[in-house]
A and B are shown apart, each in its own frame.
Chain A
Amino acid sequence: MSRLLLRGGRVIDPEQGVDATLDVLISEDTVAEVGTRLSARGAQVLEMKGLVVCPGFIDIHTHLREPGQEHKETIATGTRAAAAGGFTAVCAMPNTEPVNDNEGITRLVLEKARVEGAVRVFPIGAITRGSKGEELSEYGDLREAGCVAVSDDGHPVADSRVMRRALEYAKAFDLVVTDHCEEPRLSEETCMNEGLVSTHLGLRGEPAVGEAIMVERDVLLAELTGGRAHIAHISTAASVDAVRRGKARGVNVTTEVTPHHLFLTDEEVRESAYDTSTKMKPPLRSEGDRQATIAGLQDGTIDCIVTDHAPHHVDDKKVEFDKAANGVVGLETAVALCLDRLVGEGLVDLPGLVALLSANPARVLGLPGGTLAKGSPADVTVLDLGRNRQVDPSRFESKGRNTPFAGWILKGWPVATIVGGKVVWDDLKR
């Protein structure tokens, strides 16, 4: 029986209310015990002195691109990027080619992940067939095959009747409906946030309210149907407010935010002189919106932090700004950014951040893990709060290099990732 002892680290397990210097004993693929002075007999020992030991981080919004766009990312490279970035599990969005709207694709993704994946992969199925926004896909089959939620990913569900039916039907299979909130008519032909910066740059902007309109709608539809709505990558003050009000009256709604929306604004598009690594959906917003997302994290309106990892090939990005693909990579920078900019700046405390990256995302989608309680999956993320490193895209495990954070020097990095009791990423200093 293989045993692994993580000795003497600061163990933070928000689910258990634990924040203390403890040992974690892993037996096979589960947590056997958490305590002091645990016996190392028969176990491989990893010294965790000076490090932080957390439940494995879970990114519930990742694009692995396989099948169909393997030149951008594969399940192998994307999950390696996840491991390197401190994530033990990722939820794979269905905007593959073909779209993951049936059990065949779901099973393919899971089988590939089983054979080639460095971390756990939980597929998300499509809300509608082909993500066309018209007919619902077969949620029962998707759930049975292993999908943990449904989403049309980058395609907002424009038709309110379809969204209503999705929220209703998904209840039968305990599926969360994750919606990309964007009023499509208000964002036609746009490539950034609408505001003074888009006016300066002469780029067509989408108004922030285009997101809030759909968030309000989804909150109201979740209230009407009793379904489970999850608002993807929230980015505006009005959207955060809509979720906050919805939660206050008991609506079953949750939401997530990305590091780029937490730490950058549309000014970045100007300062970078139209650098396409500042282009994504939703676009970088105003400073007021950015502040509102941080406030949303602080008061619990925003449930979790996700990467919206969207790797692109250089050919899709090294073009004119309005012609460039939307999206940035995030798996290998998210944790360090949050440690440096949220915890380092005193905006969120460390146990709070750990919850936002582990217990909370697990709870949002009902996933296993998110805790180090005895008997849990042995998924562990180890942090070194003292480590300083510069973001260097040329060292990414991901095929994507499209990050707006290149060159940032960040303090606090994930240094080891353990999935099911196996060390899948090891950057520990010995």
Chain B
Amino acid sequence: MSFPHRHLLGIEPLEASDIQTILDTADGLKEILDRPIKKVPALRGRTVVNLFYESSTRTRSSFEIAERVLSADSLSIAAAGSSVVKGETLLDTAKNLEAMNPDLVIMRHASSGAPHFLARHCRFAVVNAGDGAHEHPTQALLDALTLRQHKGKIKGLKVAIVGDILHSRVARSNLWLLSKMGAQVVLCGPPTVMPPGIEGLAPVTYRLEEAIEGADAIMMLRIQLERMSGGFLPTLREYFRRFGLTEERARRAKKDVLIMHPGPLNRGVEIASEVADGPYSVILEQVTNGVAVRMAVLYLLLGGSPEAAS
């Protein structure tokens, strides 16, 4: 049975069974990363392009490693240093790439919906590596893989997502994924960064203590410092005092709570260093799982069968 999607544009269009398939495939492929020779020929002869219009360390290197482990031929284009700075439109860049016949393009872009635009106008498969405030599907998948490894399942878990929900593609993808997989999500953050209507999708609280109470996992979101200029928050000091995750607050969660963060961290803004580096933090495991999940996504979209990966 092959994977029933041509692109990975978001979590919202996926069924729970698709998510299950990706996670199972990632579990199967993860073992390759522990081998002395980390390379399999699964995607030999396939061409993958990493097209990054926004800066990225984790996501981009994680995709690049996943491509190499699976033996795909890949290249990375960063907006700075490409013809984008010469004013080329997204469509022209994409059409030029298409003319070189890649099998799959991974794109990060500041405009929500940019990967949909690419998928509509080009022949290659598209993976969304983060579009505006819309979705970041592979981040949610790696978070789910991490949760599943520690808790054995996702269904029934209480997960708090805390921070700037309004501007966060990570929050949206995680909200879709966790809801589809039967977890109980609580959203927390200042009202100025709660998107309209979100309370119809998950309970919202403005009190961090309430969100954390009894949580199996806490996902802290990065406060983008440039948001300060939009008048969303009075000061970072107050943000940390009211919404920052400290050791004391974390104690309200379950004893075996998982502390998660998509990175990069703002230490002392959304999360105290003691928590980020503490025993419950799985922040670096998330990064490791990122490679496995991206291997699974590439493998499935480029025609690999889920059974063969296990």
Contacts and interface: CB of A to CB of B under 8 A. Distances in A.
Given A319-B89, A321-B111, A323-B111, A195 B116 contact: no
What band does the interface of chain B fall in when counting residues whose beta carbon is under 8 Å from A?
20 to 34
B196 A195 contact: yes
B306 interface: no
Given A274-B116, A318-B91, A202 B135 contact: yes
Contacts of B114: 320-321
Interface string A175-207: 000000000000000000011101111111101
Interface string B276-288: 0000000000000
Nearest to B194: A199
B117 A320 contact: yes
Contact of B195 (A199, A315, A318): A199
Nearest to A318: B91
Interface string A260-280: 000000000000011000000
A279 B91 CA distance: 18
A211 to B, nearest CB: 16
Interface in B150-179: 169, 172
Interface string B253-282: 000000000000000000000000000000
Contacts of A207: 196
Q: Which of A194, A274, A322 has the most CB of B within 10 A?
A: A274
A273 B91 contact: no
B195 A201 contact: no
A202 B112 contact: yes
Q: Which of A201, A202, A274, A315 has the most CB of B within 10 A?
A: A202
A203 B116 contact: no
A274 B118 CA distance: 11
Nearest to A188: B230
A423 to B, nearest CB: 41
A274 B112 contact: yes
Given A318-B91, A321-B112, A201 B196 contact: no
Given A319-B89, A319-B90, A201 B200 contact: no
Nearest to A315: B89
B178 to A, nearest CB: 16
Nearest to B120: A273
Nearest to B131: A202
B196 A198 contact: yes
Nearest to B168: A202
B198 A199 contact: yes
A304 B197 CA distance: 33
Nearest to B90: A320
B69 to A, nearest CB: 31
Contacts of A205: 196
Interface in A399-427: none
Interface string B103-114: 000000101111
B28 interface: no
B30 interface: no
B113 A320 contact: yes
A325 to B, nearest CB: 13
B132 interface: yes
Contact of A321 (B12, B91, B113): B113
B281 to A, nearest CB: 28
Interface in B97-140: 109, 111-114, 116-117, 120-121, 131-135
Nearest to A207: B196
Contacts of B196: 194-196, 198-199, 205, 207
Contact of B172 (A202, A319, A322): A202
Nearest to A203: B112
Q: Which of B111, B121, B132, B135 has the most CB of A within 10 A?
A: B111
Nearest to B195: A199
Q: Which of B90, B113, B133 has the most CB of A within 10 A?
A: B113
A194 B196 CA distance: 7
A323 B120 CA distance: 17
B116 A200 contact: no
B103 to A, nearest CB: 22
A199 B200 CA distance: 11
A122 B91 CA distance: 38
Given A274-B113, A320-B90, A321-B113, A201 B197 contact: no
A185 to B, nearest CB: 10
B132 to A, nearest CB: 5
A177 to B, nearest CB: 32
Kindly list the 4 A-B residue pairs having the minimum CB-CB distance in the complex, ordered from nearest: A202-B134, A274-B113, A196-B197, A320-B111
15 contacts: A195-B196, A199-B195, A199-B198, A200-B12, A202-B112, A202-B172, A203-B133, A274-B112, A274-B113, A319-B89, A319-B90, A319-B91, A320-B111, A320-B114, A321-B112
Given A320-B109, A322-B112, 18 more contacts: A196-B197, A198-B195, A198-B196, A199-B195, A199-B198, A201-B134, A202-B131, A202-B169, A203-B112, A203-B113, A274-B117, A319-B117, A320-B90, A320-B111, A320-B117, A321-B112, A321-B113, A322-B132
Interface of A: 194-196, 198-205, 207, 273-274, 315, 318-323
